[in-house]
Amino acid sequence: MALTALDIFKNLPKTNCKDCGVPTCLAFAMQLAAKKVELSKCPHITEQGKAALESASAPPVRLITIGDNEKKVEVGNETVLFRHEETFYHEPGIGILVSDSLPESELVEKVRTINGKHYERVGFTIGVNLVVLKNDSGDASRFASAAEKAQGASQLPLVLMTEHPGAMKAAAEKIKNRKPLLYGITSATIDSIAPIAAEMCLPVVITAPVEELPALTQKARQLGVVDMVLEPKSEGLTHQLEDFTRLRRAQLKKNFREVGFPLLVNAADSDDPHLETNRAACFTAKYASIIIISGYEDWQLLPLLTVRQNIYTDPQKPIQVKPGIWEVGKPGPDSPVLVTTNFSLTYYTVEGEVTASRIPSYILVMDTEGTSVLTSWAAEKFTVEMIAGKLNESGGIGDKVKHRKVIIPGLVAVMTAKLREESGWDVLVGPREATGITKFLKSLPA
Ligand code: SF4
């Protein structure tokens, strides 16, 4: 929650000495609240005032980093309850459970399979982010060895899951340089596991009923832990969703520092893989920053990753592709020319259908500021004049093909006659839905 000028003013020396270049402390406070100056410009602020302002201006949900390489996962720092208010910034890390009971070769094989669980969607790569190693064996040395093997087989950050302090210490020691997340602190284990995390400067997960979390985070802090992720334990999906919402409200609306940490859901405790995926999707929307699942089949992961991608897209900036001439296959001078908008979802749907037709084609992508066909047409961002201009642009599509035929989306069939007149091109009306494009292209005379 942003500090007001008055909040800031209370912590300034109030001498109006002007050394900061501003006539009064109140004026300085106003500029600081508006982020026009930095606190360091006042040389007279006390350490106490500085600490108060720095901690009060800290984000309501602490940013936590897991991992130490380019695959590191950053979660937290969210500022709104609802995506449409601004945007959600750090998408949840999705982790797959791996048991340390697996024979070594199977464990390594499973971790390598998890590494490969990423997909291309609307021009982006979406994939799994974490390997969650669970100490099912109950054996400390086996857990430590499994951690080492998993780390060697993957660049993904690791989560170490055990409530046994000996096993946690042994495994954390082996891979501490990769900054794993330690998952095993409860009210019963905090005294033994928190000091391990504090000593190695590692983030932890604290698991407890929501009412107990503030006391446990305070205690963890006293034990030297700085970075925490909270897992509220609740009975049933309804109560769990309520608890996640209560915590997010407490973070953002009340600025309640004791729970100002990212949240984790372990959806892997169901025997039903459909239910597991559904639960994971629910908490992607509200408000998990780390989601643990056991299933890693494509039919489970792809929908979940798609939900995450959609929710964590900035609603004010639609995903766009670059306007211009896109080639599908190896088109030549006789290839069809289709025109569409630069809204990613529209483009990639069209591109997928053209690819499926196996007919090399050109797609002329118009700059509609990332809006779909009907929206851009209604907003006059997909007009006859604009399309005609691009069709006849020097060095453009007209130089690549020897025919003068363009296929427009069926949704804007209304522009056919005018476009023909304005551009001099023959205008073919394509299907209203992209699903008809493959059949349409195949029906064109050779
Ligand atoms: Fe006030 Fe500090 Fe500016 Fe002096 S330098 S006027 S004490 S804010």
Q: Which two tokens stand for residue 213?
A: 């979390």
Please name the residues in contact with 49: beta carbons below 8 A apart, sequence gap of 6 or more: 11, 12, 13
Q: Is the peptide bond before 287 cis (omega within 30 degrees of 0)?
A: yes
The β-bridge relationship of strands 124-127 and 228-232 is unpaired
- Confidence band, pLDDT 50/70/90 cuts, at residue 27: very high
**Exposed e or buried b per residue across 180-195, where buried means at least 16 C-beta atoms within 10 angstroms of its C-beta:** bbbbbbbeebbebbbb
pLDDT of residue 2: 61
* Alpha-carbon span 86 to 83, nearest angstrom: 6
Query: How much is the CA Rg of the chain, to the nearest whole Å?
Result: 28
Cα distance from N-terminal residue to C-terminal residue, the chain: 63
Q: Which of 211, 223, 206 is nearest to 261 (CA)?
A: 206
Find out whether the beta carbon of 42 lies less than 6 Å from any atom of ligand 1: yes
The DSSP string of 395-436 is TSGGGT-SS-EEEE-GGGGGGHHHHHHHH-SEEEE--SSGGG
* Alpha-carbon span 267 to 293, nearest angstrom: 5
Whether 1 has a pLDDT exceeding 60, the answer reads: no
pLDDT of residue 57: 66
pLDDT of residue 55: 67
Q: Which of 29, 48, 62, 54 is nearest to 256 (CA)?
A: 62
Find out whether the beta carbon of 29 lies less than 6 Å from any atom of ligand 1: no
* Substitution candidate for ligand 1 out of 10, 11, 22 with most atoms within 8 A of CB: 22
Find out whether the beta carbon of 44 lies less than 6 Å from any atom of ligand 1: yes
- Distance from Cα 1 to the centre of ligand 1, integer Å: 24
269 versus 371: the higher-pLDDT residue is 371
* 231-264 tens-digit pLDDT: 999 999 999 999 999 999 999 888 788 999 999 9
Neighbouring CB atoms inside 10 A of 408's CB total: 24
Whether 156 has a pLDDT exceeding 80, the answer reads: yes
Q: Find the range with the poorest average confidence among 292-296, 314-318, 326-330, 418-422.
A: 314-318
Q: In this structure, which residue's CA is closest to atom 3 in ligand 1?
A: 20
* Alpha-carbon span 267 to 290, nearest angstrom: 10
Q: Find the range with the poorest average confidence among 117-126, 187-196, 320-329, 365-374.
A: 117-126
pLDDT of residue 40: 84
Q: Cα 345 to chain center, whole Å?
A: 18
* Substitution candidate for ligand 1 out of 25, 30, 36, 41 with most atoms within 8 A of CB: 25
Average pLDDT of the chain is 94
Whether 181 has a pLDDT exceeding 80, the answer reads: yes
- Distance from Cα 11 to the centre of ligand 1, integer Å: 11
Q: In this structure, which residue's CA is closest to atom 4 in ligand 1?
A: 17
- Distance from Cα 47 to the centre of ligand 1, integer Å: 14
- Distance from Cα 21 to the centre of ligand 1, integer Å: 8
Look up tokens 């950050």; give the residue: 157
Find out whether the beta carbon of 69 lies less than 6 Å from any atom of ligand 1: no
Q: In this structure, which residue's CA is closest to atom 8 in ligand 1?
A: 25
Please name the residues in contact with 120: beta carbons below 8 A apart, sequence gap of 6 or more: none
* Alpha-carbon span 74 to 126, nearest angstrom: 15
Please name the residues in contact with 185: beta carbons below 8 A apart, sequence gap of 6 or more: 193, 194, 197, 204, 205, 206, 207, 216, 220
- Distance from Cα 27 to the centre of ligand 1, integer Å: 9
Q: Tally the residues of the chain.
A: 446
Percent of the chain with pLDDT over 70: 99
Find out whether the beta carbon of 12 lies less than 6 Å from any atom of ligand 1: yes
Axis crossing angle, helix 140-153 with helix 165-175, rounded to the nearest 10: 30
- Distance from Cα 2 to the centre of ligand 1, integer Å: 21
* Substitution candidate for ligand 1 out of 41, 44, 50, 53 with most atoms within 8 A of CB: 44
Collapsing DSSP to helix, strand or coil, 55 comes out as helix
3 backbone φψ class: left, alpha, beta (φ>0; ψ -120 to 50): beta
Q: Find the range with the poorest average confidence among 26-35, 97-106, 190-199.
A: 26-35
Domains parsed from the chain with CATH numbers: 5-57 (1.10.15.40), 64-311 (3.20.20.20), 324-443 (3.40.50.11600)
pLDDT of residue 190: 98
Mean pLDDT of 77-94: 90
Strands (E), 267-404: 288-293, 324-328, 337-341, 361-366
pLDDT of residue 145: 98
Q: Which two tokens stand for residue 364?
A: 């002329």
Find out whether the beta carbon of 36 lies less than 6 Å from any atom of ligand 1: no
* Alpha-carbon span 245 to 285, nearest angstrom: 10
- Confidence band, pLDDT 50/70/90 cuts, at residue 51: confident
Find out whether the beta carbon of 21 lies less than 6 Å from any atom of ligand 1: no
Query: 325, 364 in Cβ contact below 8 A?
Result: yes
Query: 220, 228 in Cβ contact below 8 A?
Result: yes
Find out whether the beta carbon of 25 lies less than 6 Å from any atom of ligand 1: yes
The β-bridge relationship of strands 64-66 and 73-75 is antiparallel
Q: Which two tokens stand for residue 328?
A: 């599908």
Whether 73 has a pLDDT exceeding 80, the answer reads: yes
* Substitution candidate for ligand 1 out of 9, 16, 38, 53 with most atoms within 8 A of CB: 16
Q: Cα 218 to chain center, whole Å?
A: 29
Find out whether the beta carbon of 141 lies less than 6 Å from any atom of ligand 1: no
Percent of the chain with pLDDT over 90: 84
The ligand 1 atom nearest the CA atom of 18: 6
- Confidence band, pLDDT 50/70/90 cuts, at residue 208: very high
Mean pLDDT of 378-399: 95
Collapsing DSSP to helix, strand or coil, 348 comes out as helix
Find out whether the beta carbon of 22 lies less than 6 Å from any atom of ligand 1: yes
* 106-142 tens-digit pLDDT: 999 999 999 999 998 888 899 999 999 999 999 999 9
- Confidence band, pLDDT 50/70/90 cuts, at residue 312: very high
Q: Hey, which residues does 288 pair with through a beta bridge? A: 263
Find out whether the beta carbon of 378 lies less than 6 Å from any atom of ligand 1: no
Query: 230, 261 in Cβ contact below 8 A?
Result: yes
Whether 3 has a pLDDT exceeding 80, the answer reads: no
Please name the residues in contact with 263: beta carbons below 8 A apart, sequence gap of 6 or more: 229, 230, 231, 232, 244, 247, 248, 287, 288, 289, 290
- Please name the helix (run of DSSP H) or strand (run of DSSP E) that holds residue 310, with its range, or none: helix 298-311
* Alpha-carbon span 170 to 147, nearest angstrom: 9
Find out whether the beta carbon of 50 lies less than 6 Å from any atom of ligand 1: no
Burial label, 389 (beta-carbon count in 10 A; 0-12, 13-18, 19+): middle
* Substitution candidate for ligand 1 out of 11, 26, 28, 39 with most atoms within 8 A of CB: 28
pLDDT of residue 197: 98
Q: In this structure, which residue's CA is closest to atom 1 in ligand 1?
A: 25
* Alpha-carbon span 257 to 220, nearest angstrom: 13
Whether 377 has a pLDDT exceeding 80, the answer reads: yes
- Distance from Cα 354 to the centre of ligand 1, integer Å: 65
